[in-house]
Amino acid sequence: MPELQRLRADHVPALLAFEQENRAFFAASVPDRGDDYFAHFEARLAALLAEQTAGICHFHVLVDTDGEVLGRFNLVDVADGSAELGFRIAEKATHQGLATATVRQICTLAATEYGLTTLRAAAALDNTASRAVLTRTGFVPTGEEVLLNDRPGLGYVRSTAGEV
């Protein structure tokens, strides 16, 4: 059974493999991270871990029993009881309910561990899978139209009140 773990430095090799193996799959539905992201991956991750230590963000990975990363689930721009949720799941882990179950788990962590009351998210209009996960997990469209690397998208919001 996959386990959600808070991002740590020892996740670097498995996380890099996850990003590289799924790059083309992700680029079909979310903005590509670009070559520079991979060229400076370890330094970028060290900066993210520093942000996590400072409480600005909360980064998580979904790992299988062998330590392989199956997904990323992040709460970024933490301020005033709210944060932005971002997530991506490996192509081979799609259509198994893992994204939905893990977003639910993140929503609970947001309330119980991080003291957050509101989560925001955005998804490209053509990213039906992410939009479905957001809807299934209690996010509602805000009506705010957003651009995600020049792709039209929609903003979502969810209260974490009542999470246990």
Per-residue model confidence as pLDDT tens digits over 120-134: 999 999 899 999 999
**Could you tell me the pTM of the whole model?**
0.93
Indicate the CATH number of 3-159 among 3.30.70.980, 3.40.630.30, 3.40.50.620, 3.30.360.10. Answer: 3.40.630.30
The total of other beta-carbon atoms located within 10 Å of residue 111's CB is 20
> For position 152, what pLDDT does the model report?
92
Task: List phi, psi (to 5°) of 142.
Answer: -90, -15
> For position 112, what pLDDT does the model report?
96
> For position 164, what pLDDT does the model report?
59
> For position 151, what pLDDT does the model report?
85
The structure tokens listed for 156 are 């979502």
> For position 55, what pLDDT does the model report?
93
Low-confidence ranges of the chain (pLDDT < 50): none
Which own/partner pairs from 155-158 qualify as long-range (CB within 8 Å, at least 24 positions apart)? Answer: 155/120, 155/121, 155/122, 156/120, 156/121, 156/122, 156/123, 157/118, 157/119, 157/120, 157/121, 158/107, 158/118, 158/119, 158/120, 158/121, 158/134
